Amino acid sequence: MRSIDRAFFILAVLMGLAGMLLGIQMGMAHDFQLVPVHAHINLVGWVSLALFGIGYRLGFAKSGGLGVLHFWVAAAGAFLLPLGIYLATTRQQEAVVIIGSLLTVASMLLFLVNVVRAWSTPAG
């Protein structure tokens, strides 16, 4: 994946739109039970993914194979965490939220590794 920054940013925008649409739907229905889902779509999906993309674009994080792995782990976490919150809230099923949470933490750890790798590489 050559343009990891763009992949992160495109997915971030899609997640941002999904979060906005869910927020609009909740407002129209006057049913705010899914506010935690909405918040996590926006924060993990839109904000975190966008910041990851910006970090790669500005060279704060080193791309390559670990960057691609980071993208897929982050994408899975950004999708599964809000889905898991939905399932936990509406059906008392918590397995997916646990998996999504662990993937989201793993994603941040991968980003940390890629940031350290970029800062450890001599400028040239």
Q: Compute the average pLDDT of residues 29-53.
A: 98
Residue 37 · residue 86 · CB < 8 Å: yes
Q: Give the model's pLDDT for residue 123.
A: 62
Average pLDDT of the chain is 96
pLDDT at 38: 98
**CA nearest neighbour of 100 among 85, 111, 110, 112:** 85
Task: Report whether 55 contacts 111 (CB < 8 A).
Answer: yes
User: Which pLDDT value is given to residue 93?
Assistant: 97
Angle at Cα 70 formed by Cα 49 and Cα 116, nearest 5°? 95
> What pLDDT is recorded for position 121?
73
Asked whether residue 122 carries a pLDDT value surpassing 80, the answer given is no
- pLDDT over 80 at 124, yes or no: no
pLDDT tens-digit readout, 52-75:
999 999 999 999 999 999 999 999
How many angstroms separate the Cα of 90 from the Cα of each of 37, 100, 108? Answer: 11, 17, 28
* pLDDT at position 25 over 80: yes
Confidence class of residue 37 from pLDDT cuts 50, 70 and 90?
A: very high
Would you place residue 100 in the very low, low, confident or very high pLDDT band (cuts 50, 70, 90)? very high
DSSP assignments along 56-69, one per residue: HHTTSS--SHHHHH
Helices (H), the chain: 4-29, 35-40, 49-57, 65-91, 95-120
